Structure 1
Amino acid sequence: MSVIACRAALMGATLFALAACASNGGHAMADTPRPAREAPLAGPVPARQSTAFTLGTDQPRAPEQLAVIFDKADLSIKVIPDDRAIDAVAVLDFTATAPVERLVVELDTILTVSEVDVDGVPVPPDRWSNPEGRMSVELGRTLAAGETARLRIAYSGRPRVAPHAPWDGGFVWATAPSGEPWIATAVQPEGCDIFWPCIDHPLAEPGRVDLHITVPSNLSAPSNGKFLGTVDHGDGWTTWNWSAANPNTYAIALNIGPYAEVSADYRSRFGNVVPMSYWHLRSDDPAKVAALFAQFAPMMDFYEATVGPYPFGDEKMGVVETPYLGMEHQTINAYGNEYKLDGRGFDWLLHHELSHEWFGNQLTNRNADDMWLHEGLGSYMQPLYDRWLHGDRFMEASLLDQRRGLINKFPVVSGEEKSEDEVYQSDRGPGLDIYNKGSLIAHSLRLLIGDEAFFRSVTRLVYGTATPRPGEFQPRYGTTDEFLSIVHEETGQDLTWFFQGYLYQAALPDLRQTRAGGELVLEWVTGNGGVFPMPVEVEVDGRRRTVSMDGGRGRIAAPPGAHVLIDPDNKVLRRLDFIEEWKAAGNHAQPLP
């Protein structure tokens, strides 16, 4: 949510942690009747285990990987439910940007490679190797800058079974309530190399991925991008064909099951028409299916009004029901919330994963250290949607839930290159704070600079322009520094102090206050001791004034006996003693009954 959301809190965590993280705030989700389904089947462990290298993602790229452009991947994958195995052929096209003598990709070593060839010429086994999951193939010549090469790899085997999808990922082999196989992949924490050969790094997205997914003919296989039709082979197997442009590597997803499809066109406020599809289990309650699908268009309209055009309108807005909670998979988001209601008037999981089409798929962070751009801005969309649907009370309730979930042990942004594990695991990095704290920082920034500057800044970050039009932009990479530069341009102010005080410090800014001699004296104290001139509204006996806080200090008249209320609208994210005391007491960590 990346429902990787909360991995740190959720690896064996309480149900409370799951609800709090996943709902961006801890709304209890009422159970609704649903046909029983079997839990995902664990199955026997493969004889070989994935290496530590494979189980990590966004590792530093090899020099040979830095010297090529990944033009296209053509993946033919037969999924064999009875064996919990795959039989696959990957054809990968590269263009050299500098001289290179070998092609290097990642592929899990528990999969057996049977054939390798380059440009149609077989490569003997002594000229390729895959010892730890980084596969190196000698070209037998030097590929000059501008030249292309086609690498073909045939492989098969039993891919890694997800111990706890989506937080600890791999394949999920489950059984639908009606008895058929129900299979899905979720590999964000581990990367694309779990089941297809790729360059497992966010900056190495292929220009296009074509998918040919062969499954038993009584099952369907919705996937990324445009649907190119099926081929029934007449032997009990059918191939589903898809094509996706510029996908995130971990977002390539296999989804196989007894699905039915409901579809409609969304007429965008930008003039184009976007096909919407939801693949659900045929055994689902039709009324619940219809109610969920009815949410698609309003959510799309909200995001288009708030951020900009749906980024993949020439392909589809797609959702597929999965036997695990969820994950953002470009144009085929995983949905496993079982139609649960939580009193907000919309499905939080559907809404959050849809946010990642903008924050994650259209805009991709250059490094995991900037992951808050995905998760924080994406999480802020939910309080904004609460207001869009129901008004300020619901937005404030959502923000309060996020506020109670803050950890404040590590900075949201360190300023150093980080792996996903170093960011998502709360014993090593910010963990849930990239969601909740990132959202609250975005809220404080919006209230500081105003809606026009804030939303123009977000739109520019996502599209590279303040006036995006369908078909006139491409997916892009972004950083926190770039966002700061955009905000500077939009406001004409240097807000480095804001970013430094919130993002680069673990501790929240602390507003110290003393009251004497008919005055209230205020002073900001930050984690790095830097000046933090955040203005503060103060209400004295019902009358409000804004204290400018030049140099991080300010004062206001407050006669003895007057009632003083600091920041009455809760515009400013800051340390609050009563929340710290509540957390220290531990009462917030009790599991749901």
Structure 2
Amino acid sequence: MKNFLLAFSAILLISTCHSQGLLQGKEKFTHQDTLRGSITPERAWWDLTYYFLDVKVLAKKKYISGSNTIQYRVLKPFQVMQIDLQEPMRITSVYQDNKKLKVTRDGSAHFITLIKPQTTGTINTLYVSYDGKPKEAINAPWDGGFSWKKDQNGKDFIATSCQGLGASVWWPNKDHMYDEVDSMHIRITAPKDLIPVSNGRLVHIQDHPKANIYTWFVNNPINNYGVNVNIGDYTNFSEVFKGEKGDLDMNYYVLKENLEIAKDHFKDAPKMMKAFEHWFGPYPFYEDSFKLVEVPYLGMEHQSSVTYGNQYKQGYLGRDLSGTGWGLKFDFIIIHEAGHEWFANNITNKDIADMWIHEGFTSYSENLFLDYYYGKDASADYVIGTRANIQNDKPLIGTYNVNNEGSSDMYYKGANMLHTLRQLIEDDEKWRQMLRGLNSEFYHQTVTTKQIEDYLSEHSGIDLTEFFNQYLRTIKIPTLEYEIKKGELKYRWTDIVEDFDMPIQVDIDGKSEWLFPKAKWQTKNIKSDSFNIDRDFYVNSNKI
């Protein structure tokens, strides 16, 4: 019973880890889901190029106001634009070329009728003003919105988080993953005694008698949910990491009372950078630097502004999610959330239904961090240990075009799928180059599952169609069914998709060898009853 309770507790942690659980388990979809999750005609005709997000935060009222200047390229003529902003926030006005435009609201979608003819290839600008009391995140980051908290000295401690729920919960934007803005400025007006921190580099501090006004610039493409506002009684320290592309500025913003513990604890950050540049290639955002920013919730993968709230503990709030002990060798939030810089921020899913690309690869990065510092056995122990968290409740891929993510198994079922694929490659250096190649081939791009599948099939030299159909699109785990009788091993795959024929390493008579099971029974002569399946393969077995 004790082991069951421990496993069940871990399952609960993973099932809510990082992304807004509001989207999980939803089977009936609404008109609003379609407006939020599909590339509507009012989105498809224009391409984002630049945002200037200007936001004033009034902590006492839990209120924000501001504007977003939206620059875009016309792909084809159209006269209606969709901009998203969720209630209770409101758009107060929209202008183009000093002309006020008509706005029609349909739930969170705002349809703006443009006066100026939209000519293919031209660059145009829209100015959107907004205000309101944004949704308060009661249990961030899982429910999302604004966190209005106090630090131990009673000062305001504020942060945003909105993965899944959408950035339109607090600012007006083109709220779909497929189109990332090329660059943006973020100007934050905060109370005078507090420091506002956002993505990219700090480029300007405005002198004001009653407020702190900081402007940040993001030089690289960024997804909407990666944009964040953090306000606190911060102090800053930094270091320079000698990386694959030269000097990388690594900045840390922490509450003043945590400065000394952070200086010691954040040593995991350059260790992370060294390991992940080895496995995945250069950090994708040298121009924007890397930041860890303390926040009043667990943490999130905000691009170049990774947020941290793991209470300066090893593991996940002091727990080892693998149950092996290896999970206490690193701070889970630093390693996992920073790993998203490669998978989520560099390579981003076009549709949230494919969010396994973010979470599967990033969960897999946890054991690659261990591999780099502690070796392959430690890495395998960890990822295999996380199988206790897998529920197999529904497929990893969600429903497309309705803002629906797949199972929370995308974390550790995704990681174990990739660990299994590493075994099929049979060449660790080739596998490393494939991971690096993904981050080069799809550098700063939004992608589909098919693009990732095709890349891995092509570069592995293996047709992985059925492999991915099995692990991504069903809840069935391949089961090696076998019988040993009178010196003969009889074996086959069960619980599989059509044409699944993954080879598997086994130990027979004390020697490692490959078997090539199919749905039909096969036989092999063996000398004894000694038979074991390699633990690195995420499969079940059934001895008859």
Q: 2-side partners of 1:154 and 1:117: how far apart?
A: 9
SS of the equivalent of 1:346 reads coil
1:23 Cα deviation (Å)?
Answer: 8.7
1:553 Cα deviation (Å)?
Answer: 5.2
Amino acid of the structure 1 residue aligned with 2:296: P
Contact 1:57–1:200 (Cα < 8 Å) also in 2: no
1:300 equivalent in structure 2: 273
2:321 equivalent in structure 1: none
Q: 1-side partners of 2:519 and 2:461: how far apart?
A: 19
Tell me: CA distance 1:149–1:57, structure 2 relative to 1, closer, same or farther (3 Å). Answer: same
2:539 alignment partner, one of 574, 577, 584: 574
Amino acid of the structure 1 residue aligned with 2:429: E
1:160 Cα deviation (Å)?
Answer: 0.9
Tell me: CA distance 1:19–1:195, structure 2 relative to 1, closer, same or farther (3 Å). Answer: closer
1:547 alignment partner, one of 506, 512, 515: 515
Matched, 1:210 2:185: yes
Q: 2-side partners of 1:280 and 1:544: how far apart?
A: 51
1:498-530 Cα shifts (integer Å, max 9, x gaps): 222322221000100011121111111233243
SS of the equivalent of 1:351 reads helix
SS of the equivalent of 1:454 reads helix
Contact 2:158–2:230 (Cα < 8 Å) also in 1: yes
Contact 1:57–1:201 (Cα < 8 Å) also in 2: no
Q: 2-side partners of 1:164 and 1:53: how far apart?
A: 27
1:280 Cα deviation (Å)?
Answer: 0.6
1:132 equivalent in structure 2: 107
2:463 equivalent in structure 1: 494
Matched, 1:143 2:143: no
1:122 equivalent in structure 2: 100
TM (norm. structure 1) is 0.81
1:284 Cα deviation (Å)?
Answer: 1.4
1:183 equivalent in structure 2: 158
Q: 2-side partners of 1:184 and 1:112: how far apart?
A: 20
Q: 2-side partners of 1:514 and 1:528: how far apart?
A: 22
1:26-75 Cα shifts (integer Å, max 9, x gaps): xxxxxxxxxxxxxxxxxxxxxxxxxx887999511331211001111111
Give the stretch that moved more between structures: 388-397 or 90-99. 388-397
Structure 1: runs of 5+ lacking an equivalent: 1-12, 25-51, 424-429, 466-473, 579-593
* Structure-to-structure mapping, 1:76-475, within 5 angstroms: 76-123=54-101, 127-234=102-209, 236-244=210-218, 245-268=220-243, 270-284=244-258, 286=260, 288-342=261-315, 344-413=328-397, 417=400, 419-423=402-406, 430-431=407-408, 433-449=409-425, 450-464=427-441, 474-475=443-444
Contact 2:11–2:390 (Cα < 8 Å) also in 1: no
Q: 2-side partners of 1:168 and 1:451: how far apart?
A: 39
Q: 2-side partners of 1:398 and 1:23: how far apart?
A: 18
Q: CA RMSD in A?
A: 2.4
1:262-308 Cα shifts (integer Å, max 9, x gaps): 1011110x24111001111111161x211222111111010000010
Tell me: CA distance 1:14–1:162, structure 2 relative to 1, closer, same or farther (3 Å). Answer: farther
Tell me: CA distance 1:54–1:250, structure 2 relative to 1, closer, same or farther (3 Å). Answer: farther
2:494 alignment partner, one of 519, 525, 532: 525
1:242 Cα deviation (Å)?
Answer: 0.5
1:21 Cα deviation (Å)?
Answer: 5.8
1:75 equivalent in structure 2: 53
Amino acid of the structure 1 residue aligned with 2:39: R
1:585 equivalent in structure 2: none
TM (norm. structure 2) is 0.88
Q: 2-side partners of 1:525 and 1:438: how far apart?
A: 21
2:474 equivalent in structure 1: 505
Contact 1:112–1:157 (Cα < 8 Å) also in 2: yes
Tell me: CA distance 1:575–1:462, structure 2 relative to 1, closer, same or farther (3 Å). Answer: same
Contact 2:503–2:514 (Cα < 8 Å) also in 1: no
2:504 equivalent in structure 1: 535
1:539 Cα deviation (Å)?
Answer: 2.8
Q: 1-side partners of 2:34 and 2:207: how far apart?
A: 37
SS of the equivalent of 2:367 reads helix
1:5 equivalent in structure 2: none
1:83 Cα deviation (Å)?
Answer: 0.8
1:418 Cα deviation (Å)?
Answer: 5.3
SS of the equivalent of 2:369 reads helix
Contact 1:159–1:171 (Cα < 8 Å) also in 2: yes
1:491 Cα deviation (Å)?
Answer: 2.9
Amino acid of the structure 1 residue aligned with 2:118: L
Q: 1-side partners of 2:230 and 2:35: how far apart?
A: 22
Contact 1:259–1:279 (Cα < 8 Å) also in 2: yes
1:537 Cα deviation (Å)?
Answer: 1.7
Tell me: CA distance 1:285–1:58, structure 2 relative to 1, closer, same or farther (3 Å). Answer: same
Percent identity at matched positions?
A: 27
Q: 2-side partners of 1:275 and 1:494: how far apart?
A: 41
Tell me: CA distance 1:162–1:231, structure 2 relative to 1, closer, same or farther (3 Å). Answer: same
Figure out how many residues of one structure are paired with residues of the other and give that number: 513
Tell me: CA distance 1:114–1:419, structure 2 relative to 1, closer, same or farther (3 Å). Answer: closer
1:373 Cα deviation (Å)?
Answer: 1.4
